[in-house]
Amino acid sequence: MLQLATLRHDSVTFYRRDPMNGVPSGGLQVQVRRLDASVKRSDLFNETVWRELFRRSMDRSSAPSRLAPDRCYAYHDGRVLYGAFCTPPAPSAASSDFRGLFGSCMAVTVPPLHRLRAFEWAWEQLQPHVALLLGDLVYTDIEQTWLRWLRVPGHLVWRRTWQVPALERLLRTVPALLMHDDHEIRNGWDGTVGGNEEALADLDAWTRGRRPRRWRWGKDVSFFVVDTRSYRTTGSLLGEEQWRDLRDWLRNDNATWHVLASPSLFARSLGKSPVMDDGDGGWGDFPTDQERLLELAPCNTVVLSGDVHWALAVEHLRSRGDKTGGRGGHCPVWEFGASPFQAIPFPAPQMDMGNRHDVNERVHFLRGSAFFHGSFSYNGTDKSLGFALHSTSVLTDATSTLYSKTLTPVTGVYS
């Protein structure tokens, strides 16, 4: 298995595991070759096309010493041609159109739950430029405790999930921004080890080098991925070191859009699952942290969340004024959540969508009892950022769009 680990406008790193023994392979010399400038990003999702383009490039292209922004490349190890990718625009360049996939919670057990249909849809229809995989990357704790008759060692659970063909193929072409939640370690894990050293070691081995905190697409869209698990025992959801990095990003990153990727639910007005309430809360259990983020976040900040096994769209209002040319202080932080990719579907709490909301939260969409994933798309012409929530049926393989919202940038700085 050879996949993209991190991808920036001028560099790439790779991730490899030996499928025989499940440990990282050493001594790998990955070779990168630039493809013809006429290659389109959509060509990456047709392996016949980019393999032919690679064959042609062998005659006239040498391995570059440094990657160029907004160009496409193929990579191999001298024996096997593994994949192709395109670099993002430079941080100083205008952001071109691009698309992304987001969601959380992947469980692969027995048929028909041995496929990840959302990733099959992503390859065939969405053709994303990046994937945000926000926690519960595997369910090692369930297979080792709840389903004792299916007891499987943790490293085999990782291998079985992350070598599902649809996911493995996508990550050979698209960089993933990864973050763990709790089920990689223990249900409701709060940052304490508590005898989970083996699970932590497996997590590190499978995600090493694949958890960049910041990532951006040109000058207009910037991402920050937060760890909402490891610091809970400090009394803060994120911990002070992570808060310092986040504060610096919110204040000093000059992107038009700030996208915060959070494994945990940001909204606190939705309550908890009516089926399973294990005390495993999100930002709502840390109201000081939630208010702190709303205080610091500039206009055009969006939160993407997972974990709760619902699809949701929530508008977080802020009462303070802003410098937006008389918009009356209306500079909300929008949240879009989508989970699970594939795990136990939970029913959503019963809510009056027209009236039921927290003082500063408006719930625009809430759905449960299905498999969900989300997508987003940036329009480089008007700098709008669109979001959609989808559901894919296990029985029919059909993917439907349940909700969509396009946000246009607000001019000014929230103050």
Instruction: Report domain extents, the chain.
Output: 1-87, 93-407
User: What angle separates helix 197-207 from helix 154-162, to the nearest 10 degrees?
Assistant: 30
Interval 312-360: pLDDT, tens = 999 999 865 444 333 334 799 999 999 999 998 999 887 655 545 566 8
CA 352 – CA 58 distance, rounded (Å): 61
Q: Would the pLDDT of 189 be above 60? A: yes
pTM (two decimals): 0.92
Q: Are strands 333-338 and 361-367 parallel, antiparallel or unpaired?
A: unpaired
Give me the pLDDT at residue 327, please. Answer: 37
CA 99 – CA 121 distance, rounded (Å): 14
CATH of region 93-407, choose from 2.60.290.11, 3.40.50.300, 3.20.20.70, 3.60.21.70: 3.60.21.70
Interval 64-84: pLDDT, tens = 778 999 999 999 988 889 999
Q: Would the pLDDT of 273 be above 90? A: no
Q: Is 374 within 8 Å of 387 (Cβ atoms)?
A: yes
CA 177 – CA 134 distance, rounded (Å): 8
Give me the pLDDT at residue 328, please. Answer: 35
